[in-house]
Amino acid sequence: MKRRIAVLIVLLLVAGLAQSHEFWLQPKKFRFKVGEEMKIDFMVGENFTGTFWDMKRHKVEKAEVHAGSIVKNVMKDVKPTEGNNLGYKFDKEGTHLVGVESNFAFIELEGKKFNEYLKEDGIDNILDERTRENKLEQTAHEYYKRYAKLLVQAGDKTDETYRKRLGFRYEIIPMVNPYTLKSGDYLECRVLWEGRPAPGALVKVWGRAGNRNFLQDIYTESDGTVKFPISNSGPWMVSSVRMIKADKEGADYQSLWASLVFAVE
């Protein structure tokens, strides 16, 4: 099924919290001074609104901060608390990229709910397969993993850190530095599956304006890219999910969730 240019823009109220899907890294702010400390909340929810990630149920397998060619392993700084899960003190000017990878968690959904979830997140390959195999009524067992990225800025000097590949199996990379953009500009991102462009993937682009959130649903082009307008200043999140047949015992499927968070002035 080809949907080259399918863009849906929906105005979402904060009160309309839906089924919790997305996982993202939420700092208290996005621009810092050198020597200042950043505190990051690990969040889960929908509509760019959610609750603290339950670290009693989930674990972090990888946590890094990238600044140019410098890579710092910050696993020891991850705290299993409700918010303030990761702190980092900036020792140099520039764009910084934080990457977090979770372990696999397990979920079981009855057939109808699982099918609705597939439709909502554009996971057509699995929905079509379940339809062909007459499994729409069957309960689904799924492993899921999160790949979250956060771009922040220390000082005024921007650099090429934003474009670094972290080696995540599913990854979203901006084509320009978001901290050089302003409201009214466009941003292009590329979605990679196992290091290669992912065509036809549904990407959700969330923008926050005051107490309201805007959602753009866009399908990637043949080169794995999506391009969207930056309609307002403030925080933004780009997210996507990829689902495949499980390659480990205990589940039917496994999903890989990617998110990228940044802010535009």
10 Å Cβ neighbour count for 17? 14
Q: Is the pTM of this model over 0.75?
A: yes
Whether residue 126 is contained in a domain is answered as yes
Condensed to tens digits (0 to 9), the pLDDT of residues 192-234 reads 999 999 999 999 999 998 888 999 999 999 999 999 999 999 9
Query: Which of 4, 6, 14 minimizes the C-alpha distance to 210?
Result: 14
CA 165 from chain center: how many Å? Answer: 14
Residue in the block written with tokens 């080169």: 223
Domain span including residue 244 = 8-264
Distance CA 147, CA 258 (A): 5
Q: Name the pLDDT band for 1 (thresholds 50, 70, 90).
A: very low
Q: Does 1 reside within a domain?
A: no
Number of domains in the chain: 1
pLDDT above 50 (res 8): no
Condensed to tens digits (0 to 9), the pLDDT of residues 98-141 reads: 999 999 999 999 999 999 999 999 999 999 999 999 999 999 99
Q: What local confidence, expressed as pLDDT, does residue 12 receive?
A: 36
Looking at per-residue pLDDT, the higher value among 201 and 21 belongs to 201
SS3 128: helix
Q: Which two tokens stand for residue 255?
A: 């999903």
pLDDT (0 to 100) of residue 16: 32
The answer to whether residues 150 and 98 touch, using CB atoms and an 8 Å cutoff, is yes
Residue 251's pLDDT band (cuts 50, 70, 90): very high
Question: Dihedral sign, CA of 215, 28, 261, 94?
Answer: positive
Does a structural domain hold residue 53?
A: yes
- Summarised one tens digit per residue, pLDDT across range 133-174 is 999 999 999 999 999 999 999 999 999 999 999 999 999 999
Cα–Cα dist 167/140, whole Å? 29
The Cα–Cα gap between 91 and 135 comes to: 54
Domain for residue 3, yes or no?
A: no
Local confidence band at 2 (pLDDT 50, 70, 90 cut-offs): very low
Classify residue 2: in a domain, yes or no: no
Is 244 inside any structural domain? yes
The residue-averaged pLDDT of 85-92 equals: 97
In sign, the C-alpha dihedral spanning 13, 19, 21, 27 is positive
113/115 Cα distance (integer angstroms): 5
- Rounded to a whole number, what is the distance in angstroms from the first to the last CA of the chain? 37
Residue at 233 is within a domain: yes
Q: Is residue 142 part of a domain?
A: yes
Task: In whole angstroms, give the CA distance from residue 191 to residue 242.
Answer: 11
pLDDT band at 47 (very low <50, low <70, confident <90, very high): confident
Q: With bands split at pLDDT 50, 70 and 90, how would you rate the model's confidence at 57?
A: confident
Cα–Cα distance for residue pair 98/112, rounded to 1 Å: 36
